[in-house]
Structure 1
Amino acid sequence: MLFSQTGLARYRYYRIALACALGVCTLLLTLGIRIYEQAQVIAEDQQRVAIHTVEKLEKLLDPASPAGRAIPIDQTLSCNALQPVMQQTVARMQTLRSISLVSNGTITCSSLIGALDLNFNKTLPSLAQGKTQLDLRASKWSRVDAPTLVLWQPTTPDNLNGELFVYNIGILSNFLLEPQLPYAAHIVLNVGNQNLEYGSDTIVETSDLPHPALLSVSSDKYDFSVSLFGEEASDLAWNELFTHLPLSLLISLLTATAVYLLSGSRISLAYPISHGISHREFKVYCQPIINSTDGRCIGVETLMRWKNRRQEWVSPDVFIPLAEQHGLIISLTRYLIQTVANNLEVFPATPGFYVSINVAAQHFNNMEIVDDIRTLWLPAQPSVSLMLELTERTRLQELRAAEISQLKEMGILLAIDDFGTGHSSLSYLKTLNPDVLKIDQAFTASIGTDAINATVTDTIITLAQRLNLKLIAEGVETREQVEYLRQRKVDSLQGYYFARPMPIEVFPIWLERYNKSTQIITLREETKPA
């Protein structure tokens, strides 16, 4: 795993919290969208109910128009002659209660009563004055004040002659104004300032209606409108919340799962390493390299350490391979070279002292390592030498002789790190022409305990000495290992026996103390009696 257990646990909690938060947001957003869409659908359905009611009322009134009647009424005849004709017309239309005739401003004949002599203007002023063609009123010609709808059809331009069609709207409203639940709890017919509700025998003023209408739709043919009363579309949509909940929960769970899985990729992919480089979270440490003959510190190996503020320390055994895998190892190496070049004053300006840096084989593509040394290292005018360690984790045969030659010309030392543990091949020694072989700590640890590995170690030492290559043994931790390697004339030693890796700024302090202790030991040995 990339992070420490504590950091991983913290990041897991973060992932869970992030997934839950986005899941809840998705749930709320999905429900909101579904409720909004449902409210729009309900509003459209309410509009459709009102329009449909208007259309039904228009169909009720259309047969009374001159074009809708099969036989026109001849008003030159007497009332006694016209009454049967009008009664036939009423019977044929079925929805009519009666027909009355108006002649020269006087209501003269009714299919229901017969001959009349009523002043049209006094009886139905709104119709007589041409303000409207419909009048909603209680019946004047029956004992019961039933609601009626009067339709005026003038036959002369002066509005003094025409026909009155009276509808028993109180009965018809039970069919025409029937509520359409849940979209409309009440449907009301509006004619002027008069209103008739479904199931009611009382005509009321608009101001007496219990609450504002949801919507009103007016007829394009006649002077009336229809109003719907009930719950708002948004309230009806919220009432259906639980019907939308299962799908919304499923979408939110899928979102939360996807976020959790995607956020988990940050643990193992390139993002945290790239973030660490840009925010200078990587620190340069160095471990001293000691001459096995006189005990002098002749160089250091620089190492990268990563302490993320949230994830704490990250093992190099983890982030180095990941950086190689995701193409960030070159950026990481440049960061290391630049940091070392900026801190050259911490190293002693003594002849032969060198700083060792691990370099991946990918860095040699297209002469990149050569260019980086020219632009990052040489401008600092270093007083120490630079040694590049090539690990055998990558295939070293991919390196080109031209690059090796240019590095040699610039005075760069080359070392093969972990020799004998990776893609080992003696041809590397010919291709790379290294200056140093580094004995892997696994072989050093086997000294005195593992006969087979000890034999391999002796073979590597013998090979290097015959090829006149310098040797550095890594992982030296005991006095026994020191003596064993000294006896076999291994040039340099590196390990916890001398010093653990330390921050680069601490190295001068350690070196001063080490040199003093080494001088004291040397003086003691020189003053021992023979």
Structure 2
Amino acid sequence: MPISPIGLAKYRYYRLALAIAMGLVTLLFTLGIRIYEQKQAIGDDQQRVASHTVEKLDKIFFPVQNITSLPAIEPDQQCPALQPSLQQSVAKLQTLRAIAVVKDARIVCSSLLGALDIDFSKALPHMLEGVTNLELRPAMMTSDPVPTLIYWQPKSTDNRNGLLFIYNIDILSSFLLEPQPPFANRIVLNVMQQSLEYDKKSITPRASIPDVPLLDVHSEKYNFSVSIYGRPPLALAWSKLPNHLPLSILISLLASFAIYLFSGSRISLAYPISHAISHREFQVYCQPIINSEDGKCIGVETLMRWKNRRQEWVSPDVFIPLAEQHGLIIALTRYLIKQVSDNLAYFPSNANFYISINVAAQHFNNMEILKDIHDFWLPANPQVSLMLELTERTRLQELTAEQIEQLKAIGVQLAIDDFGTGHSSLSYLKTLNPDVLKIDRAFTAAIGTDAINATVTDSIITLAQRLKLKLIAEGVETREQADYLRDRKVEALQGYYFARPMPIDVFPIWLERYQQDNIRAEAIAD
């Protein structure tokens, strides 16, 4: 039963649409992550630029706090005696324009102009009042109104005596406030309500700057701040979008390809299943079932094994569920029935010997299984019995008593496989009226342990005996398990302890050797 071309085409369109959609989602997600990371990085860089500018400005004030060449300011000391030492300090520091001396709230001496007499309270009232020790203003001691930065260092508690350090900030701003595109198009120094921008020859009120700064960073030591102006981090991040597109597109294409392959993983095996059925790639294996009392082989369970066109073995745990999902399980079981029917010569001509075939619940719908038995099994004139093992991966529809009787009338036995592990085992006891219950290998493995499954095993055995049902235990791997089940009157055993699954044409060889071993064992026992 191959997948129809229409269904296959629809599924391919679905896979393609899913792959494209997931590729677009991956592209958007990847770009979003990259834009977010870029935004964070640009924001950090802008913060770094502002903080570094503040650090550089802080450093120009540090040397004046440690000047040792200036003499103490005495009340009666005159400017001619002070000026040489002031000039010497200016020359040593280099960053200074001038140093001025304040006595009794009067600016009395300047390293640049010599003796002065300027009212400190009128020239720099905020400093006298102790509001600030830093002020940005035009030069007040020369006719040229160049921007200057004045640092006040009081020498008395009443702020009436001290030193004024005057920096030619116009020159210093050429490197201190130099923009660093693209992170900062403009860097502005703010002192109180006055601002100075790079390459500007005048001081402007801060309130007159129309733009809103990206960020302000304040000095922790001095009364000034630095403002950064430019494009917001998000806008800059978006401008870098072309740089991120190649990698993001590559990732999205890989994601689309992976989704396309993943979404096709089912059909990529489902379609070869149909091909394998028509090209007879599936091989029939069988595993012996042993009578627990006399040790004779009383039947086999037939199994499907698949070696694909690349000579690779595909696990039944992969292709059986896949075949069920894609409506191929009936065709697969039909193939098995026909192969077994064509190879009955490999089995003993004994009506008490049975061949067990796993049948999915779907095969019972509309009693297709009955038609297949009539088409393939009965025409082969079998001398052995047929047992159908119902697997419980899918739910069995309600069968009528008449349908069950039709199966049993042609000598078919019914068994519930892996009893206790499916979703409706107990209900199947009523629906199928089975002849056999098969104990799942998980319960057999629990024998000799304190696991809950060990108790369940005993319960299943008790239930089957009360209902007068035969029991077959799967997964018998040890002598201990075999003895335990034999002591509890489990009729038949199956597992690696006796034999592994083998190709159908190898079974006669195994059976002959097994029977000879049994004869020798009985002779030794006698």
Q: TM-score range by the shorter chain?
A: 0.5 to 0.7
- For residues 227 and 45 of structure 2, the distance between their equivalents in structure 1, rounded to whole angstroms, comes to 14
Specify the alignment match of 1:461 in structure 2. none
Specify the alignment match of 2:73 in structure 1. 75
Describe the SS at the equivalent of 1:117. strand
* TM-score normalized with structure 2 length: 0.59
Please show how residues 228-247 of structure 1 align to structure 2 within 5 Å: 228-247=228-247
Specify the alignment match of 2:449 in structure 1. none
Amino acid at match of 2:391: I
> What is the Cα deviation at residue 112 of structure 1?
1.4
- For residues 140 and 196 of structure 2, the distance between their equivalents in structure 1, rounded to whole angstroms, comes to 17
Describe the SS at the equivalent of 1:140. coil
> What is the Cα deviation at residue 22 of structure 1?
0.9
The structure-2 alpha-carbon separation of the partners of 1:201 and 1:423, relative to structure 1 and needing over 3 Å to count, comes to: same
> What is the Cα deviation at residue 374 of structure 1?
8.9
Tell me whether 1:18 sits opposite 2:18 in the alignment.
Answer: yes
> What is the Cα deviation at residue 380 of structure 1?
4.6
Tell me whether 1:301 sits opposite 2:371 in the alignment.
Answer: yes
Describe the SS at the equivalent of 2:190. strand
- For residues 157 and 219 of structure 2, the distance between their equivalents in structure 1, rounded to whole angstroms, comes to 23
> What is the Cα deviation at residue 301 of structure 1?
3.2
- For residues 432 and 251 of structure 2, the distance between their equivalents in structure 1, rounded to whole angstroms, comes to 62
The structure-2 alpha-carbon separation of the partners of 1:230 and 1:203, relative to structure 1 and needing over 3 Å to count, comes to: same
- For residues 429 and 62 of structure 2, the distance between their equivalents in structure 1, rounded to whole angstroms, comes to 101
Specify which of 259, 270, 285 is matched with residue 366 of structure 2: 285
Amino acid at match of 1:285: N
Specify the alignment match of 1:143 in structure 2. 143
Deviation string for 1:381-438 (max 9, x for gaps)?
87xx9999xxxxxxxxxxxxx99x9389xxxxxxxxxxxxx9369969x99xxxxxxx
- For residues 387 and 355 of structure 1, the distance between their equivalents in structure 2, rounded to whole angstroms, comes to 17
> What is the Cα deviation at residue 73 of structure 1?
2.8
- For residues 224 and 381 of structure 1, the distance between their equivalents in structure 2, rounded to whole angstroms, comes to 92
- Asked if the contact 1:51/1:217 (under 8 Å) is kept, the reply is yes
> What is the Cα deviation at residue 216 of structure 1?
1.1
Specify which of 397, 403, 417 is matched with residue 339 of structure 1: 397
> What is the Cα deviation at residue 331 of structure 1?
2.2
> What is the Cα deviation at residue 70 of structure 1?
3.1
- For residues 195 and 181 of structure 2, the distance between their equivalents in structure 1, rounded to whole angstroms, comes to 21
- For residues 105 and 63 of structure 2, the distance between their equivalents in structure 1, rounded to whole angstroms, comes to 24
Describe the SS at the equivalent of 1:136. strand
User: Which runs of 5 or more structure 2 residues have no equivalent in the other structure?
Assistant: 271-318, 330-360, 374-388, 438-463, 473-502, 513-526
Specify the alignment match of 1:262 in structure 2. 262
Please show how residues 59-458 of structure 1 align to structure 2 within 5 Å: 59-65=59-65, 68-76=66-74, 77-267=77-267, 268=270, 270=321, 273=324, 284-286=365-367, 300-301=370-371, 330-331=391-392, 335=395, 338-339=396-397, 341=399, 343-344=400-401, 354=409, 375-376=426-427, 379-380=430-431, 406=470, 423=504
- Asked if the contact 2:392/2:424 (under 8 Å) is kept, the reply is no
- Asked if the contact 1:148/1:168 (under 8 Å) is kept, the reply is yes
- For residues 214 and 45 of structure 1, the distance between their equivalents in structure 2, rounded to whole angstroms, comes to 12
Q: Which moved more, 1:109-118 or 1:183-192?
A: 109-118
Please show how residues 458-497 of structure 1 align to structure 2 within 5 Å: none
- For residues 20 and 264 of structure 1, the distance between their equivalents in structure 2, rounded to whole angstroms, comes to 14
- Asked if the contact 2:392/2:423 (under 8 Å) is kept, the reply is no
Deviation string for 1:203-254 (max 9, x for gaps)?
1112211211111111111110111000111111111111111211221111
Deviation string for 1:37-93 (max 9, x for gaps)?
11111111111111111111111111121xx21312332231011112211111111
The structure-2 alpha-carbon separation of the partners of 1:5 and 1:112, relative to structure 1 and needing over 3 Å to count, comes to: same
- For residues 81 and 372 of structure 1, the distance between their equivalents in structure 2, rounded to whole angstroms, comes to 108
Amino acid at match of 1:227: S
The structure-2 alpha-carbon separation of the partners of 1:248 and 1:426, relative to structure 1 and needing over 3 Å to count, comes to: closer
Bigger Rg over Cα: 1
Amino acid at match of 1:99: I
Amino acid at match of 2:149: L
- For residues 155 and 142 of structure 2, the distance between their equivalents in structure 1, rounded to whole angstroms, comes to 27
- For residues 157 and 199 of structure 1, the distance between their equivalents in structure 2, rounded to whole angstroms, comes to 38
Q: How many residues align?
A: 353
Deviation string for 1:286-312 (max 9, x for gaps)?
469xxxxxxxxxxx4379xxxxxxxxx
- For residues 377 and 201 of structure 1, the distance between their equivalents in structure 2, rounded to whole angstroms, comes to 97
Amino acid at match of 2:69: I
- Asked if the contact 1:355/1:386 (under 8 Å) is kept, the reply is no
Specify the alignment match of 1:518 in structure 2. none
Deviation string for 1:418-465 (max 9, x for gaps)?
xxxx9369969x99xxxxxxxxxxxxxxxxxxxxxxxxxxxxxxxxxx
- For residues 81 and 349 of structure 1, the distance between their equivalents in structure 2, rounded to whole angstroms, comes to 132
Q: Which moved more, 1:182-191 or 1:138-147?
A: 138-147
- For residues 234 and 374 of structure 1, the distance between their equivalents in structure 2, rounded to whole angstroms, comes to 62
Describe the SS at the equivalent of 1:143. coil
The structure-2 alpha-carbon separation of the partners of 1:340 and 1:170, relative to structure 1 and needing over 3 Å to count, comes to: same
CA RMSD of aligned residues (A): 4.0
Amino acid at match of 1:423: I
- Asked if the contact 2:107/2:120 (under 8 Å) is kept, the reply is yes
- For residues 284 and 75 of structure 1, the distance between their equivalents in structure 2, rounded to whole angstroms, comes to 113
> What is the Cα deviation at residue 102 of structure 1?
0.6
- For residues 3 and 61 of structure 1, the distance between their equivalents in structure 2, rounded to whole angstroms, comes to 84
Amino acid at match of 1:301: K
Describe the SS at the equivalent of 2:173. helix
- Asked if the contact 1:301/1:356 (under 8 Å) is kept, the reply is no
* TM-score normalized with structure 1 length: 0.59
The structure-2 alpha-carbon separation of the partners of 1:260 and 1:236, relative to structure 1 and needing over 3 Å to count, comes to: same
- Asked if the contact 1:357/1:386 (under 8 Å) is kept, the reply is no
> What is the Cα deviation at residue 182 of structure 1?
1.0
> What is the Cα deviation at residue 266 of structure 1?
2.2
- Asked if the contact 1:194/1:206 (under 8 Å) is kept, the reply is yes
- Asked if the contact 2:70/2:89 (under 8 Å) is kept, the reply is no
- For residues 80 and 225 of structure 1, the distance between their equivalents in structure 2, rounded to whole angstroms, comes to 37
Deviation string for 1:179-200 (max 9, x for gaps)?
0111100000000110000000
> What is the Cα deviation at residue 271 of structure 1?
5.6
- For residues 325 and 430 of structure 2, the distance between their equivalents in structure 1, rounded to whole angstroms, comes to 26
Deviation string for 1:344-402 (max 9, x for gaps)?
46x5989x98478798xxx7876789x999945652587xx9999xxxxxxxxxxxxx9
- Asked if the contact 1:354/1:386 (under 8 Å) is kept, the reply is no
> What is the Cα deviation at residue 329 of structure 1?
7.4
Describe the SS at the equivalent of 1:45. helix
